[in-house]
Chains A and B, each alone.
Chain A
């Protein structure tokens, strides 16, 4: 197997002088051409993890650990090196294109400033490339639309424009922070397809943050489930869906409505994720867990390999596996 292009080890992100841990000891690899899904509820630390990779945190945020990109640690880079990686080698797109695009600048400026920062193209080259990018992401009438402003685009077109901006300088890794959450379902589908096409066409990898397991099964090769700032389960999407080993993943899968399955009760996970300041002793999930036993309240389980390439951090992984996957039947029938 080839080498991972991104190797994250012990990523820990804190806020407020280290008092609040948003992300704790997160490690994962991203392979070339792979789509990795980071899954979790709001507040699980998935977005912060994504932003920490490029050190894009609000004031007061600190990142520790290592983010190894082509043999260099992003977390140890100086500002100039970091600027070269951001947007040039690793790009990022956001959930809300309306707020992520600058409202007072035409799309052209927002694309060309990226090209200016990362390529040696002259003015004419930048204009040509900008038009090419608009075609690439499927925005019709590129020449005219380049001079329009974000508010003149529809939601789906805005997201396409943001992707065009992010991809301007041919990045090898795209970080996507819930890029379809704010869109209509039909548009959502188009954008997911677009991202997958671009992955193939540009030979890049994608880290996809989402809370939507439907999106994960449709787009991702591997997935990592996050809870209270840690990865609790990680593996190939098919393996995790077929046989979840962590009680939280089991609960998440049970809460997804399934088309085609016979009518059954939709499961939900009781309670809410813990706040950063009061993460429970032992396994952070234990107060909400149906499988919890005594040890879960005392000792935090470590991430362990359950089957090749499938890791989970659950004391009762056996019991969870025995309970079977909530989606197994639907997957078999579908």
Chain B
């Protein structure tokens, strides 16, 4: 199979995925306990008012009709209006989602920058002091809950040392990066531990591979052997893990944003769930799901580039 054919097939696979996402989102939101009318009107609402609200929101119609309307609106780019904030959901997503994407991207970047070199050191010094120290440190990192790490970082680097702001989101790109740094580190911690462990064992598996011995037998320079022969092969499995972790990372962003008071999509999601703001929850979930699907697509493309056995 050629690369274009592979890409074409991979893109086609996105379609059933997206349909499935729409169904799940639609059903899940309606399975939430409580209903939007009472959330809007409060506990002592009159039945007549509840009925009126339900009619306005189209919630009195049969479920298949609601679903069809939902699908139509999604494909026309209209995700409805927020019930509590009275503004279009798309506008909310445009405002909040980029913040979460930036946070996730920073966290992924930090995780990779930390994990890759340390994995190398640990793998090439297997079972020596450096290896044990690195693995021990990451083990601690991996076993601490995200919110707890976030609180520690906040207390030490925010409140005590005052190196970083304790929360919120700055003005201008650089200030935003500055505000997002601690949350990103918090988020990156467990991912970097997972990546480090995976890459370390992948490298150990590759170092003793016959083709690495052959590369040495050819008299190649160690650096060439390391990057061309060892790293590239070791990265194949780690890349898959990395792609799959992006979804988890977005989930972690929800908690991290709450701890650091970052006004991102995670915070918006939690607020909307509490407020039974169906349209926002639906819209955000779809946006996040599409984002994750695209990440998987990107991972597969990178994978095909790294490993020719995928496509040829």
Residues of A within 8 A of B (CB): 51, 54, 56, 58-59, 79, 82-88, 91-92, 94, 96, 99-106, 109, 113-114, 117-118, 148-149, 151-152, 162, 165-166
Give every chain B residue within 8 A of A165 (Cβ-Cβ): 214, 218
The residue in A83, A99, A104 that gathers the most chain B C-beta atoms within 10 A of its C-beta is A104
Q: For residue A181, give the distance in angstroms from its CB to the closest CB of chain B.
A: 13
Give every chain B residue within 8 A of A85 (Cβ-Cβ): 219
| Contacts known (A100-B211, A104-B232, A104-B306); A149 close to B312, Cβ less than 8 A | yes
| Contacts known (A113-B228, A149-B308); A100 close to B210, Cβ less than 8 A | yes
Contact with A along B71-100 (1 / 0, CB 8 A): 000000000000000000000000000000
Q: For residue B197, give the distance in angstroms from its CB to the closest CB of chain A.
A: 20
- Could you list 23 examples of A-B contacts with CB < 8 Å? A56-B216, A56-B217, A82-B219, A83-B219, A83-B220, A83-B221, A85-B219, A87-B219, A94-B213, A99-B210, A100-B210, A100-B211, A100-B213, A101-B214, A102-B214, A102-B228, A103-B308, A117-B220, A118-B219, A149-B308, A149-B312, A162-B214, A166-B218
Measured CB to CB, the nearest residue on chain A to B307 is A104
The residue in A82, A100, A148, A165 that gathers the most chain B C-beta atoms within 10 A of its C-beta is A100
Q: Are A117 and B217 in contact (CB under 8 A)?
A: no
Give every chain B residue within 8 A of A104 (Cβ-Cβ): 232-233, 236, 306-309
Give every chain A residue within 8 A of B224 (Cβ-Cβ): 113
Give every chain A residue within 8 A of B220 (Cβ-Cβ): 83, 87, 113-114, 117
List B residues 292-312 near A (Cβ within 8 Å): 306-309, 312
Q: Is B208 an interface residue when CB atoms closer than 8 A count as contact?
A: yes
Give every chain B residue within 8 A of A162 (Cβ-Cβ): 214
Q: For residue B16, give the distance in angstroms from its CB to the closest CB of chain A.
A: 30
How far apart sit A77 and B311, CA to CA, in the bound complex (Å)? Answer: 43
List B residues 181-222 near A (Cβ within 8 Å): 208-211, 213-222
Give every chain A residue within 8 A of B229 (Cβ-Cβ): 102, 105
Q: Are A54 and B217 in contact (CB under 8 A)?
A: yes
**Mostly helix, strand, loop or mixed at chain B's interface?**
helix
Assign chain B's interface to a size class: 20 to 34
Q: Which of A94, A151, A152 contacts B210 (CB 8 A)?
A: A94
Q: Are A88 and B219 in contact (CB under 8 A)?
A: yes
Residues of B within 8 A of A (CB): 126, 208-211, 213-222, 224, 228-229, 232-233, 236, 306-309, 312
| Contacts known (A104-B307, A113-B224); A86 close to B211, Cβ less than 8 A | no
Give every chain A residue within 8 A of B217 (Cβ-Cβ): 54, 56, 86-87, 91-92, 166
Q: Are A86 and B219 in contact (CB under 8 A)?
A: yes
Q: Are A117 and B218 in contact (CB under 8 A)?
A: yes
Give every chain B residue within 8 A of A56 (Cβ-Cβ): 213, 216-217
The residue in B126, B216, B219 that gathers the most chain A C-beta atoms within 10 A of its C-beta is B219
How far apart sit A109 and B216, CA to CA, in the bound complex (Å)? Answer: 15
How far apart sit A222 and B269, CA to CA, in the bound complex (Å)? Answer: 78
Q: For residue B125, give the distance in angstroms from its CB to the closest CB of chain A.
A: 10
Give every chain B residue within 8 A of A86 (Cβ-Cβ): 216-219
How far apart sit A148 and B214, CA to CA, in the bound complex (Å)? Answer: 19
Q: For residue B240, give the distance in angstroms from its CB to the closest CB of chain A.
A: 14
Give every chain B residue within 8 A of A54 (Cβ-Cβ): 217
Give every chain A residue within 8 A of B306 (Cβ-Cβ): 104
How far apart sit A87 and B220, CA to CA, in the bound complex (Å)? Answer: 8
Q: Are B211 and A103 in contact (CB under 8 A)?
A: yes
Measured CB to CB, the nearest residue on chain B to A86 is B219
Give every chain B residue within 8 A of A91 (Cβ-Cβ): 217-218
Give every chain B residue within 8 A of A148 (Cβ-Cβ): 312
Give every chain A residue within 8 A of B307 (Cβ-Cβ): 103-104
Q: For residue B7, give the distance in angstroms from its CB to the closest CB of chain A.
A: 19
Q: Are B214 and A100 in contact (CB under 8 A)?
A: yes
Q: Which of A59, A88, A92, A152 contacts B214 (CB 8 A)?
A: A92
Give every chain B residue within 8 A of A94 (Cβ-Cβ): 210, 213-214
Q: For residue A85, give the distance in angstroms from its CB to the closest CB of chain B.
A: 7
Q: For residue A79, give the distance in angstroms from its CB to the closest CB of chain B.
A: 8
Q: For residue B268, give the distance in angstroms from its CB to the closest CB of chain A.
A: 42
Q: Are A84 and B233 in contact (CB under 8 A)?
A: no
Q: For residue A17, give the distance in angstroms from its CB to the closest CB of chain B.
A: 13
Give every chain A residue within 8 A of B216 (Cβ-Cβ): 56, 86
Q: List 3 A-B pairs, minimum CB-CB distance, nearest first.
A: A86-B219, A87-B219, A87-B218
Q: Are B211 and A114 in contact (CB under 8 A)?
A: no
Measured CB to CB, the nearest residue on chain B to A101 is B211
Q: Are B219 and A99 in contact (CB under 8 A)?
A: no
Q: Are B309 and A103 in contact (CB under 8 A)?
A: yes
Q: Which of B219, B221, B233, B312 contacts A152 (CB 8 A)?
A: B312
Q: Are A102 and B211 in contact (CB under 8 A)?
A: yes
Give every chain B residue within 8 A of A166 (Cβ-Cβ): 217-218
| Contacts known (A56-B216, A87-B219); A102 close to B233, Cβ less than 8 A | yes
The residue in B126, B217, B307, B308 that gathers the most chain A C-beta atoms within 10 A of its C-beta is B217
The residue in B209, B213, B214, B224 that gathers the most chain A C-beta atoms within 10 A of its C-beta is B214
